[in-house]
Chain A
Amino acid sequence: MYSFEPSDEQKLLIETARRFATDELRKAAHEAEEKKEFPLPLINKGWELGILHASIPEAYGGFGERSALTGALAAEEFAYGDLAGAFAIGTPSLFALPILLAGSEEQKKQHLPAVIAAEWKPYTAALVEPAFDFDPNDLKTTAKAEGSDYILTGEKTLVPFAAQAEMMIVFAKLENETKGFIVPKGAAGLQVQEEREKWMGLNALPFHRVKLDGVKVPASNLLPGDFAPVLDASRLAVAAMAVGVAKAAFEYSRDYAKERDVFGVKVAQKQAIAFMFAEMATEIEAIRLLAWEAAWAIDNKKEDASQKAYLALTGAIDMAMMVTDRAVQILGGHGYIRDHPVELWMRNGRGFATFTGLAMV
């Protein structure tokens, strides 16, 4: 039966996450971006809200069942506060969710409790590769069986917190299929470039290039399950976050346009601007519903869940660009100045075309 209303529990979560996003993340965002560092205490505070913990069953130290939908609702709120903060807080999910979704029983028992037991720790994952036609289902990084080991070879980019990470999941192509491998810190042949990568946005986060020069891991480090659910989890998360960023840009530019005078009226009273708002809000809501549908399809194990997650993200990429671009436009020259957040959101907005692998729900 159709319904577009979150459960009471979800509403509570949305409210909590939104409060944290508004009161804490948003306020820290500018300085974090400029100083190129996201404050660890804040990451921990977000971590303590327990979004990941709620996705992990009790048997592995958590206190819930994973719900992609609930995760997506939270992801939107966090990203509404600040995208870098949302990514930072969620980074351990990049390690935990692939294990939860594609790992063996032993792997789950061994790793999940460690990730969620204590404070936020930089567990991470390496998916993206430095190529214009990067395709998560056709990776250039390879895995080859050698006796009872696998040898990983290739190059990864955009790996968050790679330099500090205790462990990471490296995704590689094994006989034409993408598979995840658990790679511990300091594994022979694992070269994490010390210098941080530089991106158009997300300067608050440490990203690193990772080279795999014949990294040898035991067969027991291969996640046996399919990659598809992992990719779906990431596409959905990124789509939901795009909605959050777009919503932030929409609201900020709306409030500004209602204050600013031009030619004797408020900017927002000009149809050319008002119509932009109508379209922005409509587009945001449309893509939000598409993301919810994908999440619902994932949770209900619908056959076309992967296609839905793909469509949701593909739509979200364009939506986020359109909305954040217009937000800057609506502020005029002031939008271009870094004192206002809209230019940061626009830089982040373009990134959604590249961020698959940086979040999972």
Chain B
Amino acid sequence: MIDFEIPEKIAGIRNVVETVAVNMMRPVSRYFDEHEHEIPWDYINFMHTATRAMGGSSMAASEGKKEGPRFGFQRLAVMVEMLSWGDAGIYLDTPGGMLGSAAVSATGTPEQKERFLARFRGEKPTFDAMCMTEPHCGSDTASIRTTAVLDKEKNEWVLNGEKIFVTAGHKALLDSEGFIVVWATIDPSAGRAGMRPFVVEAGTPGCQVTNMEYKMGIRASDTVTVVLQDCRIPFENILGSPEVITEKSSTSFKGAMATFDATRPIVAAQAIGLARATLELLKEMLAERGVTIRYGLPRQKLTSIEKDVIDMEIMLRSAWWLVLKAVWMMDNGKPNALESSMAKVRAGDVVNRITQKAVEIMGPLGYSREYLLEKWFRDAKISDIYEGTGQINRLVVARQLLGYRSSELR
């Protein structure tokens, strides 16, 4: 039965998260935008304490195998939307497992999940990160050059390579006892079939953070370079079951893709939260200046501002439903690769169009750093870049619509 009512339980959590967004994020938004590389510990500590108090290790979606309908990803999407409404950069500093954990959840064995994810329930806020991108390749993930060689005598993997643009890498490796998931190849000639995810824990010798980026937006979030130099990790830190590890197959690559099915709608939810914040502020600022939006009129009778705002509303709402449908499918065990990439494509577009239009409409007020519109414009752009650029996600969508393999549609 088609239903657009937010489940009661999620509505409750949403209210709580809204309070956090209003009280702990918005007031420091500008500060952390202007003090890049400072860490919003107040927010982080609060979130950590709050999640522990609620009995959860993280915001992550796994709920175990309880009876009845599952809400995990829907709840996560709603929370992320709200946190990002608060501040898209600070949201990325939320402790307790993000992309790295998603990879562990999607591809790890039960033993690995326990070993790696338990730390998030600990006393101190803990972070993780995911390292795919390298200096020479981002979208073309199958071309990664970081290598993993098995030292059979010591039963250890030896990693060598350089990973860039690692979100929260600093916090995962240097500010907490976290871990990073490193994608490396066990056979550089094998392409995708050689790719495997490895967990490297904080403090592992040979794993170093060498650089922190300065960015256009989401400046509260650290983006770092990680260099792996003869970095040795236990054999058991390769994610997945032994068959997958030894056989030359693309199961692992598919694992990465499965991770994306779960994470893309969440990144899309982040875009939606930011877009909603922008539209709300825009309408508020317009209202203060005597401009209200007359819904219900034919286009011919609307002012150009009204048309823009109404179009924004349409984009925002429809994109949000795409996101929710994608996570709802996830919760209900329906394959959602198409829907999750659709949601990402649309949300990435929408947040950019809305923030760009909002700055334009408000003129000098939009461009001024006195208001957050210009910051949100800068924050927005990342949504169309990471977790698959707009182009890559269009490819993913198109391949499925057209029934093409990646070799048939490049």
Question: Which residues of A are at the interface with B, using a C-beta cutoff of 8 A?
Answer: 1-7, 10, 69, 132-135, 137, 254, 257-258, 268-269, 271, 274-275, 277-279, 281-283, 285-287, 289-290, 292-293, 296-297, 300, 306-307, 310-311, 314-315, 318, 353
- Of the candidates B322, B394, B410, the one whose C-beta lies within 8 Å of that of A275 is B394
Give bound CA distance, A268 to B401, whole Å. Answer: 10
Query: Is the beta-carbon distance between B402 and A268 smaller than 8 angstroms?
Result: yes
Q: Is the interface of A mostly helix, strand, loop or mixed?
A: helix
Residues of chain A with a CB closer than 8 A to B2's CB: 3-7, 10, 69, 292, 296
Give bound CA distance, A254 to B128, whole Å. Answer: 42
8 contacts between A and B (CB under 8 A): A3-B328, A4-B325, A5-B2, A268-B409, A286-B322, A289-B318, A290-B314, A297-B4
Residues of chain A with a CB closer than 8 A to B403's CB: 258
- Of the candidates A1, A274, A286, the one whose C-beta lies within 8 Å of that of B318 is A286
- Of the candidates B3, B6, B314, B397, the one whose C-beta lies within 8 Å of that of A282 is B397
Residues of chain A with a CB closer than 8 A to B346's CB: 282-283, 286
Which chain B residues numbered 340 to 362 have a C-beta less than 8 Å away from chain A?
A: 342, 345-346
- Residue of chain A at shortest CB distance from B402: A268
Query: Is the beta-carbon distance between A269 and B4 smaller than 8 angstroms?
Result: no
A133-B298, A271-B410, A281-B342 known; 16 new pairs, CB 8 Å cut-off, are: A1-B7, A2-B328, A3-B2, A4-B324, A135-B298, A274-B395, A281-B397, A282-B322, A286-B318, A286-B319, A286-B321, A287-B318, A290-B318, A292-B321, A310-B296, A314-B310
- Is B54's CB within 8 Å of the partner chain A? no
Give bound CA distance, A300 to B346, whole Å. Answer: 28
Residues of chain A with a CB closer than 8 A to B368's CB: none
Smallest distance from the beta carbon of B400 to chain A beta carbons, Å?
A: 9
Query: Is the beta-carbon distance between B1 and A289 smaller than 8 angstroms?
Result: no
Query: Is the beta-carbon distance between B321 and A290 smaller than 8 angstroms?
Result: yes
Residues of chain B with a CB closer than 8 A to A293's CB: 4, 317, 321
Give bound CA distance, A326 to B339, whole Å. Answer: 21
Q: Please judge, given known A-B contacts A2-B324, A311-B317, whether A277 and B398 are in contact too, CB under 8 Å.
A: yes
Interface centre among B329, B339, B345 (most CB of A within 10 A): B345
- Is B408's CB within 8 Å of the partner chain A? yes
Query: Is the beta-carbon distance between B313 and A2 smaller than 8 angstroms?
Result: no
Smallest distance from the beta carbon of A311 to chain B beta carbons, Å?
A: 5
Question: Which residues of B are at the interface with A, using a C-beta cutoff of 8 A?
Answer: 1-7, 69, 74, 295-301, 310-311, 313-315, 317-319, 321-322, 324-325, 328-329, 339, 342, 345-346, 391, 393-395, 397-399, 401-404, 408-410
Query: Is the beta-carbon distance between A5 and B1 smaller than 8 angstroms?
Result: yes
Give bound CA distance, A135 to B301, whole Å. Answer: 9
Smallest distance from the beta carbon of B6 to chain A beta carbons, Å?
A: 7
- Residue of chain B at shortest CB distance from A315: B314
Interface centre among A5, A287, A296 (most CB of B within 10 A): A5
Query: Is the beta-carbon distance between A268 and B404 smaller than 8 angstroms?
Result: yes
Query: Is the beta-carbon distance between B3 and A278 smaller than 8 angstroms?
Result: no
Smallest distance from the beta carbon of A62 to chain B beta carbons, Å?
A: 22
Query: Is the beta-carbon distance between B314 and A314 smaller than 8 angstroms?
Result: yes
Query: Is the beta-carbon distance between A278 and B296 smaller than 8 angstroms?
Result: no
Residues of chain B with a CB closer than 8 A to A132's CB: 300
Give bound CA distance, A134 to B311, whole Å. Answer: 20
Give bound CA distance, A310 to B69, whole Å. Answer: 32
Interface centre among B3, B74, B339, B399 (most CB of A within 10 A): B3
- Residue of chain B at shortest CB distance from A307: B295
Query: Is the beta-carbon distance between A258 and B402 smaller than 8 angstroms?
Result: yes
- Of the candidates B1, B318, B402, the one whose C-beta lies within 8 Å of that of A3 is B1
- Of the candidates B322, B345, B399, B402, the one whose C-beta lies within 8 Å of that of A289 is B322
Residues of chain B with a CB closer than 8 A to A307's CB: 295-296
- Of the candidates A2, A69, A300, A306, the one whose C-beta lies within 8 Å of that of B74 is A2
- Residue of chain B at shortest CB distance from A317: B299
- Of the candidates B3, B339, B391, B399, the one whose C-beta lies within 8 Å of that of A1 is B3
Smallest distance from the beta carbon of B335 to chain A beta carbons, Å?
A: 14
- Of the candidates A1, A133, A300, A310, the one whose C-beta lies within 8 Å of that of B300 is A133
- Residue of chain B at shortest CB distance from A1: B7
Give bound CA distance, A271 to B402, whole Å. Answer: 12
Q: Please judge, given known A-B contacts A2-B3, A5-B2, A254-B401, whether A134 and B319 are in contact too, CB under 8 Å.
A: no
Give bound CA distance, A289 to B325, whole Å. Answer: 9
Query: Is the beta-carbon distance between B301 and A269 smaller than 8 angstroms?
Result: no
- Residue of chain B at shortest CB distance from A280: B401
Residues of chain A with a CB closer than 8 A to B6's CB: 2
Smallest distance from the beta carbon of B198 to chain A beta carbons, Å?
A: 33
- Of the candidates A258, A275, A282, A318, the one whose C-beta lies within 8 Å of that of B342 is A282
- Residue of chain A at shortest CB distance from B297: A135
Residues of chain B with a CB closer than 8 A to A2's CB: 3-7, 74, 324, 328
